[in-house]
Amino acid sequence: MILEGTILAGSDFEPVEGRVVVEDGEIQAVEEAPVESDDIVLPAFVNAHTHIGDSIAKEAGGGLSLEELVAPPDGLKHRLLRQTSYEEKVAAMRRSLQFMYSGGTATCVEFREGGVEGVRAIREAADGLAIDPVVLGRETIDAMRLDEADGFGASGANDAEFGEERRATAEAGKLFGIHAGEADPSDIDPAMDLDPDFLVHMCHPEPRHLARVAEEETPIAVCPRSNLVTDVGLPPIREWLDRTTVALGTDNVMLNSPSMFREMEFTAKLCDVTATEVLRMATLSGAELAGLNYGCIEPGREAKLLVLDGDSDNLAGVRDPVRAVVRRAGTSDVSEVVG
């Protein structure tokens, strides 16, 4: 396979006119050459934090606090999930996965409620689809131990101790992620004491937390649109980018469309970040957080790629393709998702 156009190559997404050569699902070469195509070729997105089970309750709970919306075990989300049949949850998650892939997302890092049944439900929802979610089981160690699970996704250190879950996940050689610092800083230190593979949200760090994250090089998945909806305040993304790997996620489908285009535009226009940094957050950083060999167009990487129509009504006349992808592009501009 050969893809031609403006290639956003390498970890800095340098625009290169030319082609990407793909063989057996792997990028073999990036060749600079004159081409006639107006397409823009970039890495497919990695949505670094999702909860897609609540696809059954989009826009439910307007005006509720974060705790009222999602706190286990009796937040609105959890009550609605208990009231919904397995079949309905699978069907709703499948539609969200299809939507994400149509918008250029190769994978999502899913914190999957429902224990063993929840993990099996998302695998059933994804069966036959091109998108391949990274599934972190929740609620029970048995959910993490399933062959279908890629790790454990903890709610927060104020909800439980999670020491046993962390030890079991480490023994299994799987990912361990945990929410921290979403509403306040009280759960950041106990979360970090678990030596997680990554943290989620981190909206309210104190100076010692900034230093500790930098020292321990703990990656962070941020979800700024969700934080705005739940009124907890935006994460200090500039501070985190200066200290560690930062990836971008869309969080609960109940609260936000799982569109990385929307998340990128929101982040770029509201936060002190460059377009290149935002695109890296939406691709390579999420892949690194999840231990995946894509998110960057360079030889040896898996060919998880996104092709945009650079001659669409929205993108025709673009002078800065990276800025355009981050601040302007949308699903309607997608020509092809590869891989």
Cα distance between residue 35 and residue 6, in whole Å: 9
Q: Which residues contact 154 (CB under 8 A, 6 or more apart)?
A: 138, 160, 162, 165, 166, 176, 177, 178, 179, 191, 194, 196
pLDDT tens readout for residues 270-280: 999 999 999 99
Residues (pLDDT < 70) of the chain are none
Mean pLDDT estimate for the chain:
96
Residues forming beta bridges with residue 205, ordered by sequence position: none
Handedness of CA 167, 169, 171, 173 (dihedral sign): negative
CB of 109 within 8 A of CB of 286?
yes
H or E segment at 281?
helix 275-282
pLDDT tens readout for residues 27-54: 999 999 999 999 999 999 999 999 999 9
Q: Which residues contact 202 (CB under 8 A, 6 or more apart)?
A: 180, 181, 182, 188, 209, 213, 220, 222, 235, 240
Cα distance between residue 141 and residue 151, in whole Å: 9
Degrees to nearest 5, angle at CA 197 with 262 and 271 = 30
pLDDT tens readout for residues 120-151: 999 999 999 999 999 999 999 999 999 999 99
Which token pair is 62?
């307007």
pLDDT value for 71: 81
CB of 147 within 8 A of CB of 117?
no
Determine whether 263 is exposed, middle or buried from the number of CB atoms within 10 Å of its CB (0-12, 13-18, 19+). Answer: buried
pLDDT value for 68: 86
Task: Please state, as a whole number, how many other Cβ atoms lie within 10 Å of the Cβ of residue 211.
Answer: 12
pLDDT value for 212: 98
CB of 314 within 8 A of CB of 51?
no
Q: Where are the alpha helices (DSSP H) in 53-162?
A: 66-70, 76-83, 86-102, 115-126, 141-145
pLDDT value for 304: 98
- The number of residues making up the chain comes to 339
pLDDT tens readout for residues 226-241: 999 999 999 999 999 9
HSE-up (13 A, CA, CB side) for residue 33: 12
